[in-house]
Amino acid sequence: MHIEKNFFENVFNTVLDVDGKTKDNPKSREDLKEFCRRPELHVVDGKYPKAIYTLKEESKKLLCEWVKNLKFPDGYVSNMGRCVDMKKHKLFGMKSHDCHVFMQRLVPIAFRELLPKKMWEALTEMSLFFRDVTATVICEEDMVRLQQEIPEILCKLERVFPPSLFDSMEHLPVHLAYEAMLVGPVQY
């Protein structure tokens, strides 16, 4: 599911503050000043303060080491250890299925101790949303519940992350529960 991969990469690269891939950049900070009330992220003496949604260097190192040392059963996912750049503290070359597994299974574990509670809760809710939407057996009641929950989950994420993170791809999950009701389970 490319929506999930794109969502995961945008959030992950922003949290890790990856050069050239983060959605937190000078233009984004100017948008924050103009459109949002987040004075803690405005320019101070020509420098941008560290945002709460980005990890510190030691946290990035911990996360990358954790991912590098993960072991999975054969055939479950590719070797994620090869996708870790320990020098730049980033992930690269992850396939769609790797992002799928990371988003649904590892995000709640990986960020629990590293991010503030309100951010971790919002990302965990998004993770559970993707897990429920891509389940092999779906119930109409669950899809109706997910359809009602997803706007609230996205709103929680919008309160924390910069507006530049939310392009059209980040708003597509709003439609996934309805489409799963119409078409049935996702064929992965």
Give per-residue pLDDT as tens, 116-167: 999 999 999 999 999 999 999 999 999 999 999 999 999 999 988 888 888 8
Domain total in the chain: 1
Position 188 in a domain:
no
Give the domain range for residue 153: 2-183
- For residues 115-142, b (16+ Cβ closer than 10 Å) or e, as one string? beeebbebbbbbbbbbebbbeeebeeeb
Residue 188 in this model has a pLDDT that exceeds 70: no
Position 151 in a domain:
yes
Position 90 in a domain:
yes
Position 34 in a domain:
yes
Q: Hey, CA dihedral for 55, 99, 24, 153, is it positive or negative?
A: negative
Position 140 in a domain:
yes
